[in-house]
Amino acid sequence: MSKNSINRRDFLSSAAMIGAAGTLGSGALFASCGGGGEKEPAIVPLRPEAEWNLPADPLPDKAEDGAELKVGLIGCGGQGTGDLVNLLRAADGIKVAALGDTFMDRIDSCRERLQNSRGIDPQEVPDNMCFTGFDAYQRVIEAVDIVMLVTPPAWRPLYFKAAVDAGKHVFMEKPLSVDPVGARSIIASARQADAQGLCVVTGTQRHHQRIYTEGYKQVQSGLIGEIVGGNVYWNQAKLWHREKDPKWTDMEWMIRDWVNWTWLSGDHIVEQHVHNIDVFNWFSHLKPVKCVGFGARQRRPTGDQYDMFSVDYIYEGGIHVHSMCRQIDGCATNVSERIQGTKGIWTNNGLITDLQGNELWKYDADKEKEDFAQTSATVLELANWVDRVRTKQPINQAEETAVSTLTAIMGRISAYTGAEVTWDEVMAMDMNLVPDNLQMSNVDLKQYPVPVPGAART
């Protein structure tokens, strides 16, 4: 490469700084050498570049070629199957070796989709490598090199521990637990994975989305000044639900309807809105100190969850972040993040402005499409995972995603109870929502009431 050329790693950040200089004037970016006039303050980085939290820079379009890797998928629903298809787009030399799910019809639909989208004959994953039931995860983990955990979040801590104990590299979807006991288990397993040099990626795909990673660089470089607050939103229409089939037991119904039951999903503030909460945690490098939240249930037809949440989080340094999420048809939608600084504002649409609204930096999405072959964050995260496995460069996002999961759990507990909840309290709670005895049988559904603020913590 000539001295005057620029590689793909540098082009976005270099162009961004040039753009910022053109808007601000060079004095805002570089110390002035001339005399006369009042100098604009230099931009001060929030932290050294060595402390930045980026999964890869640049993000690989596709994983490096290497020895064949046998992958197993645990959780063959729509999300899990989609992740597996994306893995096959992200890397060559991947063999789908085993599938596991509570229900065989989900495995069958997964094999059908693999055939339709990737041309994989269903018998390439033969029946004797398809496992069902509550213990299916054990059989899958034994049979593979790398494993994908995409079941309802309730099982994540148990399955992650089993995979780490077996020395397997892991991709697992967010959130990582539904309760504090599960989150602490994830953190313990994450530290064990570190000791073993394993590669763990967690489905927080914004960490692998260039519009976010380049914005992160600008914020860490000090373009918006010190972070003083933020807003995070996931407001959308109703997700989905399953009416109970008379042939199903209560347990089967709850599992098939899992996004509507707190013990399975964590409620949508945890299962879905964790993405947005995680963005603030990631950009700020901070943890919450306490929160107060409220919520309500108005139209959800099944389960025991809320339709909406609003939470005021107070982070280290007294920084307030407003969190809002809703799943109700016919209402205003908004999935976004906004971070306020002393000098400017970053928003997830790839724009940084000063406090008067003047543009300081804008992400060039057209340039990304010209210069990179792959722009899907859900493919890029899997390319990076396999790349790290093959190049033996460990990555482990589990603990930071467990912190974001616990942040969301704090907000849910506060809304359900009406109480102020502190980080220290939630870290010490013995709350474990997953039933001790899992059987495909009827259960007393009265033990799953819709929470009422002011009542005991649930």
If we measure between CA atoms, which residue out of 431, 433, 426 comes closest to residue 291?
Answer: 426
In which element (H, E) is residue 94 found?
strand 94-101
Summarised one tens digit per residue, pLDDT across range 399-435 is: 999 999 999 999 999 999 999 999 999 999 999 999 9
Distances 108 to 24, 127, 161 between C-alpha atoms, Å: 58, 10, 27
The rounded percent of the chain whose pLDDT value lies above 70 is 90
Summarised one tens digit per residue, pLDDT across range 370-409 is: 999 999 999 999 999 999 999 999 999 999 999 999 999 9
Q: Give 361's contacts (C-beta < 8 A, 6+ positions apart).
A: 16, 19, 20, 23, 218, 223, 351, 352
Q: Look at residue 437 in the predicted model and tell me its pLDDT.
A: 87
Name all domains of the chain by residue range, CATH numbers in brackets.
226-367+401-447 (3.30.360.10)
| DSSP symbols for 360-414 | EEE--HHHHHHH-S---HHHHHHHHHHHHHHHT---B-HHHHHHHHHHHHHHHHH
Least confident of 26-30, 84-88, 306-310: 26-30
Summarised one tens digit per residue, pLDDT across range 70-103 is: 999 999 999 999 999 999 999 999 999 999 999 9
Tell me: cis bond preceding 175? Omega within 30 of 0 counts: yes
- The burial of 117, by beta-carbon neighbours within 10 Å (0-12 exposed, 13-18 middle, 19 or more buried), is given as middle
Residue 265 token pair: 């999903």
Helix (H, G, I), strand (E, B) or coil at 55: coil
Residue 120 token pair: 């994989």
Summarised one tens digit per residue, pLDDT across range 312-367 is: 999 999 999 999 999 999 999 999 999 999 999 999 999 999 999 999 999 999 99
Average pLDDT over residues 210-239: 98
Predicted confidence band of residue 40 (pLDDT cuts 50, 70, 90): low
Q: Look at residue 18 in the predicted model and tell me its pLDDT.
A: 36
pTM (two decimals): 0.91
Task: Decide if 383 contacts 61 (C-beta within 8 A).
Answer: yes
